[in-house]
Amino acid sequence: MNAPLQGRVALVTGAAKRIGRAVALHLASEGADVAVHYHASAAEARETVAEIETLGRKGIPLQADLCNVAEIKRLFRDLSKRFGRLDILVNNAANFLHASFDEVTEQGWDSALDTNLKAPFFCAQAAAPLLKQTHGIIINFADIGGILPWPGYIPHCASKAGVIMLTKCLAKALAPEVRVNAIAPGTITMSGDPSEWEADFIRRAPLHRAGTPDDVADAVSFLIHSTFITGHILVVDGGRTL
């Protein structure tokens, strides 16, 4: 079996479910050992780890509240103790909170910005010493909401626009040892999503289909292996932002 990531170690945040899980499994299928970060989804994290192990790779679940910088630091200490190295950090963990302009609260604003923007920065900061040793890569998850204005999701859009600029800043700050890129998914549906979402995405996307978690995982793999790309935002949306 082709294993281009044999001997590499990846950490995927929010990897217990949905897109994060698909990314973790894809990296394991390419030969990487994978740390599966989770916050509250312990059972799902254990299931993801079990599936990683069926692929012949080492997987470990690591719990942390990424809105707390002390817990982020603990997460990377635990990772270093367990694996001794880090080659790939995928900042996937995020929330997606709806609120009209008049309904946005301080708590909701802070939740969006802390989870979607503060956490990726401090994860990158904590990961940098390990990644510099391996000439590793960081992949952040932006969103087409960081490109398109959605009035019902203002804190979310602001946080994801921030991720886009954060990615560019980190790419310059950590070069040449560490490459930093981002993926901006859109029109992606998963098992359990309402059927009307897919119909709406098909209508909006020029490719006339919804994307899948595997489409996003493929994009992650592309950025990992594209060694002359840094500071780039790869939009994976079937043309939706056109």
For residue 139 the two structure tokens come to 């992949």
At residue 193, the pLDDT reads 86
At residue 194, the pLDDT reads 85
For residue 58 the two structure tokens come to 């080492």
At residue 190, the pLDDT reads 86
At residue 197, the pLDDT reads 84
User: One-letter amino acid identity for 25?
Assistant: L
> How is residue 59 annotated by DSSP?
E
Residue identified by tokens 């910005």 is: 113
At residue 31, the pLDDT reads 98
Q: What is the pLDDT along the chain (242 residues), one digit of tens a residue?
A: 579 999 999 999 999 999 999 999 999 999 999 999 999 999 999 999 999 999 999 999 999 999 999 999 999 999 999 999 999 999 999 999 999 999 999 999 999 999 999 999 999 999 999 999 999 999 999 999 999 999 999 999 999 999 999 999 999 999 999 999 999 999 999 888 888 888 888 899 999 999 999 999 999 999 999 999 999 999 999 999 99
- Order of strands across the sheet with 179-185? 59-63, 33-38, 9-12, 88-91, 137-141, 179-185, 233-236
The answer to whether the CB of 152 falls within 8 A of the CB of 100 is yes
